[in-house]
Amino acid sequence: MHNLDQESSFIRRSISILALVVAGEAVFFLPFVLPRVFRPTLLDVFGLTNLELGIAFSVYGVVAMLAYFPGGPLADRYPARKLMAFALLATSMGGLVMTSIPSLAALNGLYGFWGVTTILLFWAPLIRATRAWGGAKLPGRAFGILDGGRGLVAAAIGSGAVALFAFFMPDEVQSASPEQRESAFRNVILLFSGITFAAAVFVWFALPQQSSTPREMPNRFEPKGLNRVIRMPTVWLQAIVVVCAYVGYKGLDDVSLYAHEVLEFDEVQSARVGTLSMWMRPFAAIAAGLLADRFGVARLTTLSLLMLALGSTMMAAGTFRPGMTAFFFVTLIATSSAVFALRGLYYAMMEEGRVPFGDTGSAVGIVSVVGYTPDIFMGPLMGILLDRWPGPLGHQYVFAVLAVFALVGLLASILFWRLVQRSIQEPIRPATSP
């Protein structure tokens, strides 16, 4: 009987983390995966310029920045199951609006709406539910599986969407009429909307009806929790680590262009370089999570930031020249692994940072507001550097920015690590409200 209970518990936990993985990526299919995979088609069908699409992304970014903070306490108060399922349902309904090929103004409004559904209602509940799944003993494994699994889901669904699009297009793609292209693209939008809706149903039935609170995390939501979290130095150090790691993530957008302009790879080879970098995500995130539970999240975070700093510095120094392929790929794999390892680690830092479980959402709000600011400044900064100094020099400046942020993050992670070590003898207690 005891074995049956253990087996049943294992199955429930497996289904729960699978739901979190699928939902964690599905909610971003329509606003981000769709334009990333089908950008030329989207621009053509909607009659947009790159700048106009960029403005839509900016609308999303501004709404998201405003939504991160209030979304945290919301997640601490209401069950993740309800918030996440409703967010996925609402996001999928936005996809139906998108099939009408709306005007630019309506598209901007749609991206603002998605900023609310994916961030205000979804992001903090996802992180809180993942932390509950891992508990105090396996935070690294939980967040490593979450981000690594999301990478696999994105790759699989993206490949399937491309196959569907090709199926509805004529054999000679270049000969497709505007009507055929629009019809095929509508089917892709419907596919993404359907998957997002299915993820809502999956979450509703897979996650517990009430917010899951492990026995070793007895804290519940309290109105004073936000003030308590603001007073915790580990939360602010974690926010610095996230912003520095996210700069590294955004900087990886440059690797394919770097391979083309610096190493003289052709366009196909350069695309493969970018793909290789992205495929490091599931392996690095999951491996980092497993290792973190064995050796410590703070220690693995520090090591990953050190690796990111070294790799970025080598590229910023102009180390690579045409023909240095093997050395470049070793550096690319190491640097990309460090970036994606950090994505699997930086929310697991909450456990070692002694954030009360009931205050998880509030902490996520603070960390996210600071940590995802590169969504606002990194794109324009990279564009300025690459356009003003075309060729190798511009790329060196881009990676110099990554190296500087990595060093700042490294310093923050070391300070975080010292606080964690000190807490082994004297536990860190959040300051209470007056």
CA dist 125 and 137 (Å) reads 20
* Digit-coded pLDDT (tens) for 120-169: 999 889 988 888 887 766 667 788 888 788 878 877 887 777 777 778 87
pLDDT of residue 226: 66
Domain at 222-428, CATH from 2.60.40.2470, 3.30.200.20, 1.20.1250.20, 1.10.3720.10: 1.20.1250.20
User: Which pLDDT band holds residue 328 (cuts at 50, 70, 90)?
Assistant: confident
* Digit-coded pLDDT (tens) for 372-428: 888 778 777 877 888 888 888 888 998 999 999 999 999 999 998 888 787 665 544
Say whether pLDDT at 433 is over 90: no
Residue 73 per-residue DSSP state: H
User: Which pLDDT band holds residue 88 (cuts at 50, 70, 90)?
Assistant: very high
* Digit-coded pLDDT (tens) for 48-61: 876 788 788 888 88
Comparing C-alpha atoms, which of 106, 146, 153 is closest to residue 125? 146
Q: What is the mean pLDDT of residues 88-104?
A: 95
**Cα–Cα separations (whole angstroms), residue 245 to 16, 65, 305, 340, 397:** 27, 18, 8, 9, 18
Q: Residue 196 contacts by C-beta under 8 Å, 6 or more apart in sequence?
A: 26, 27, 29, 30, 88, 91, 92, 95
Q: Residue 47 contacts by C-beta under 8 Å, 6 or more apart in sequence?
A: none
Say whether pLDDT at 267 is over 70: no
Instruction: Pick from 49-53, 98-102, 246-250, 342-346 the range whose average pLDDT is largest.
Output: 98-102
Which DSSP string corresponds to 207-255?
A: S-SS----TT------TTHHHHHHT-HHHHHHHHHHHHHHHHHHHGGGH
Across 195-209, 302-316, 344-358, least confident range: 344-358
As a whole number, the mean pLDDT across the chain is 82
* Digit-coded pLDDT (tens) for 65-83: 888 878 877 887 888 899 9
* Digit-coded pLDDT (tens) for 204-249: 999 877 655 554 444 454 556 667 777 788 889 999 999 999 899 8
pLDDT of residue 216: 46
Domains 1-210 and 222-428 share a fold: yes
Alpha-carbon torsion, ordered 75, 80, 85, 86, to 10 deg: -30
- High-pLDDT (> 70) share of the chain, %: 86
Residue 339 half-sphere exposure toward CB, CA atoms < 13 A:
25
Question: Structural domain boundaries of the chain?
Answer: 1-210, 222-428
**325/267: higher pLDDT:** 325
171 sits in the region (left: phi over 0; alpha: psi -120 to 50; else beta) called alpha
Give the class (CATH, top level) of 1-210: mainly alpha
Contact 339, 249 (CB under 8 A): yes
For residue 292 the two structure tokens come to 């973190």
* Polymer length in residues for the chain: 434
The answer to whether the pTM exceeds 0.95 is no
Q: Is the Cα torsion angle 96, 99, 100, 103 positive or negative in sign?
A: positive
pLDDT of residue 223: 56
**Strand ranges inside 240-399, DSSP E:** none
Comparing C-alpha atoms, which of 403, 430, 248 is closest to residue 319? 403
CA dist 48 and 32 (Å) reads 16
The helix (H) or strand (E) run that includes residue 105 is helix 104-115
pLDDT of residue 434: 37
CA dist 92 and 258 (Å) reads 36
Which DSSP string corresponds to 383-394?
A: HHHHHHSTTHHH
Across 39-43, 284-288, 290-294, least confident range: 39-43
CA dist 119 and 372 (Å) reads 12
CA dist 139 and 347 (Å) reads 8
